[in-house]
């Protein structure tokens, strides 16, 4: 298969991939570092290169509300946000999942205020973990491109019918140029057939109500249905990624294992940090260290079984978490992993490291230091530790 290659930033990759998807409706509000996605896409609309109805709105709350309304007519819907914008959407994120709207949301992961900061950090997305949205992270412009397309297929699957978000870190991915293997319009149309849901959607010939009051009598049943859909999303995501890998020739899995087969120690990370962790694994392997890396691509539903299998036999894991949490028993990813591994055999000790907040760079030498620190913790018998790394005291 001949592959066309283009230079794109992460934001551009999302916009170009969304163009191939050609959603019926895009409602979005610009916010750094997501802005380029919306700008490029509005160019495509303006130039008549897509059929999309573009709805410029006055806020992210309105953006997601417009997305929900559009999705309830059966339309295919896309939007993008970051940080404060995503936080402003938060109320409607629950409305979108509760009404089973398979909206796709691209996030340019950015730190929260205060103090105000526009740079990369994943807190904005991980705190949406309980919203009943499928949630993915991408490491590169290529993964941004690929996840844009496959997110629609996961979300719109009849067994799922939940919204999906995927995140790439602000600037270091969103604004950095990388080599991206593109897909053809035909490939995307074959992979993602035209979508127009008619089941439980508004149509001119039927009377229907959405968003009605549901109290003690049925509320919990609706929520339970969402949980069952989320559980099915685990298998659907695996299947969709397998199909995508076949179509694109690029291996895409819910987790990515790197040099883990014989590893005594492992880094666990997500997003761009995973790329740095792999680079450090290469350095340490050259020094004879038995170390590997695990990347979490699918964050919700959390791939507990896969993480457990990947880390089986590893002595100690360093969890590099680029998100902030305060007064928690561990980093956000660490508490998920600890829950997934609790009570199982052959599991590693877990050492969480909160790092990279507000765009602070975690350098490769710092990751090597983390490796040594984790070994020390393990050697003295500590099973669970949490540190902040890379700040001035």
What is the spatial order of strands in the sheet that 291-296 belongs to?
255-258, 291-296, 265-269, 316-321, 349-354, 384-388
Given a contact cutoff of 8 angstroms between Cβ atoms, the answer to whether 180 and 120 are in contact is: no
Structure tokens at 33: 């570092």
Provide CB contacts within 8 A for 363, sequence distance 6+: none
Q: Does 284 interact with other proteins (rule: CB under 8 A)?
A: no
Q: How far is the CB of 175 from other proteins (least distance, A)?
A: 6
Q: Which of 163, 170, 26 is nearest to 95 (CA)?
A: 163
Indicate which single residue of 1, 2, 4, 5 sits in contact with other proteins (rule: CB under 8 A). 5
Size of the site for other proteins (CB under 8 A): 27
Indicate which single residue of 35, 276, 325, 374 sits in contact with other proteins (rule: CB under 8 A). 276
Q: Does 138 interact with other proteins (rule: CB under 8 A)?
A: no
Q: How far is the CB of 291 from other proteins (least distance, A)?
A: 15
Q: Does 173 interact with other proteins (rule: CB under 8 A)?
A: yes
Q: Does 274 interact with other proteins (rule: CB under 8 A)?
A: yes
Q: Does 255 interact with other proteins (rule: CB under 8 A)?
A: no
User: Which secondary structure element, helix H or strand E, spans residue 62, and what is its range?
Assistant: helix 60-71
Q: Cα(126)–Cα(321) distance, rounded to whole angstroms?
A: 10
* Stretch near other proteins under the rule CB under 8 A, chosen from 16-24, 152-160, 272-280, 378-386: 272-280
Given a contact cutoff of 8 angstroms between Cβ atoms, the answer to whether 87 and 77 are in contact is: no
Q: Does 175 interact with other proteins (rule: CB under 8 A)?
A: yes
Given a contact cutoff of 8 angstroms between Cβ atoms, the answer to whether 102 and 223 are in contact is: no
Q: How far is the CB of 178 from other proteins (least distance, A)?
A: 6
* Stretch near other proteins under the rule CB under 8 A, chosen from 2-10, 106-114, 307-315, 322-330: 2-10
Q: Does 275 interact with other proteins (rule: CB under 8 A)?
A: yes
Pairing label, strands 291-296, 255-258: antiparallel
Indicate which single residue of 60, 121, 124, 139 sits in contact with other proteins (rule: CB under 8 A). 139
Classified as helix, coil or strand, 49 is coil
Q: Does 111 interact with other proteins (rule: CB under 8 A)?
A: no
Structure tokens at 55: 């709805």
Q: Which of residues 354-373 bind other proteins (CB under 8 A)?
A: 359, 361-364
User: Which secondary structure element, helix H or strand E, spans residue 185, and what is its range?
Assistant: helix 185-191
Indicate which single residue of 177, 214, 222, 242 sits in contact with other proteins (rule: CB under 8 A). 177
Q: Which of 156, 162, 232, 235 is nearest to 192 (CA)?
A: 156
Given a contact cutoff of 8 angstroms between Cβ atoms, the answer to whether 366 and 314 are in contact is: no
Q: Which is nearer to other proteins, 182 or 349 (CB)?
A: 182
Classified as helix, coil or strand, 293 is strand
Q: How far is the CB of 371 from other proteins (least distance, A)?
A: 16
Which residue has tokens 């819910």?
Answer: 254
Give CA 148 to chain center in angstroms.
10
Backbone φ and ψ of 157, nearest 5°: -60, 135
Q: Does 176 interact with other proteins (rule: CB under 8 A)?
A: yes
How much is the CA Rg of the chain, to the nearest whole Å?
21
Q: Which of 57, 229, 33 is nearest to 144 (CA)?
A: 33
Q: Does 320 interact with other proteins (rule: CB under 8 A)?
A: no
Indicate which single residue of 137, 152, 171, 270 sits in contact with other proteins (rule: CB under 8 A). 171
Q: Which is nearer to other proteins, 6 or 232 (CB)?
A: 6
* Stretch near other proteins under the rule CB under 8 A, chosen from 1-9, 63-71, 82-90, 211-219: 1-9
Q: How far is the CB of 7 from other proteins (least distance, A)?
A: 4
Indicate which single residue of 220, 222, 279, 305 sits in contact with other proteins (rule: CB under 8 A). 279
Q: Which of 33, 43, 28, 26 is nearest to 10 (CA)?
A: 33
Q: Does 147 interact with other proteins (rule: CB under 8 A)?
A: no
Q: How far is the CB of 279 from other proteins (least distance, A)?
A: 4
- List residues near other proteins by CB under 8 A: 5-7, 119, 139-140, 171-173, 175-179, 272, 274-276, 278-279, 282, 286, 359, 361-364
């Amino acid at each position: 298969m001949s592959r066309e290659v283009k230079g794109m930033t992460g934001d551009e990759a999302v916009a170009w991939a969304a163009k191939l998807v050609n959603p019926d409706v895009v409602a979005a509000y610009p916010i750094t570092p997501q802005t380029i996605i919306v700008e490029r896409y509005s160019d495509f609309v303006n130039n008549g290169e897509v059929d999309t109805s573009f709805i410029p709105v006055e806020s992210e709350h309105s953006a997601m509300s417009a997305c929900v309304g559009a999705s309830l007519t059966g339309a295919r819907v896309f939007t993008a946000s970051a940080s404060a914008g995503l936080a402003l959407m938060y109320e409607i994120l629950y409305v979108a999942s509760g009404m089973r709207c398979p909206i796709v949301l691209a996030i340019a992961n950015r730190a929260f205020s205060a103090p105000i900061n526009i740079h990369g950090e994943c807190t904005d997305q991980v705190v949406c973990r309980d919203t009943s949205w499928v949630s993915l992270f991408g490491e590169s412009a290529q993964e941004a491109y690929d996840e844009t397309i496959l997110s629609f297929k996961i979300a719109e699957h009849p067994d799922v019918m939940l919204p999906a978000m995927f995140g790439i870190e602000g600037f270091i991915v969103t604004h950095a140029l990388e080599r991206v293997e593109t897909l053809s319009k035909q490939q995307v149309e074959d992979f993602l057939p035209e979508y127009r849901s008619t089941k439980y959607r508004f149509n001119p010939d039927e009377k229907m109500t959405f968003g009605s009051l549901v109290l003690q009598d049925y509320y919990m049943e609706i929520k339970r249905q969402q949980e069952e859909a989320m559980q099915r999303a685990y298998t659907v995501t695996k299947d969709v990624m397998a199909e995508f890998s076949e179509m694109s020739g690029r291996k895409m899995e819910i987790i990515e294992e790197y040099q883990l087969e014989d590893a005594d120690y492992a880094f666990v990370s997500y997003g761009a940090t995973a790329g740095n962790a792999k680079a450090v694994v290469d350095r340490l392997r050259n020094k004879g260290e038995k170390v590997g890396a695990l990347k979490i691509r699918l964050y919700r539903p959390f791939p507990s079984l896969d993480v457990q299998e990947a880390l089986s036999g590893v002595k100690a894991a360093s969890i590099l978490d680029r998100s902030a949490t305060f007064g928690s028993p561990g980093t956000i990813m660490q508490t998920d992993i600890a829950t997934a591994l609790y009570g199982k055999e052959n599991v590693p000790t877990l050492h969480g490291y909160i790092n990279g907040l507000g765009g602070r760079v975690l350098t490769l030498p710092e990751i090597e230091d983390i490796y040594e620190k984790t070994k020390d913790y393990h050697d003295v018998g500590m099973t669970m530790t949490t540190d902040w790394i890379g700040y001035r005291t």
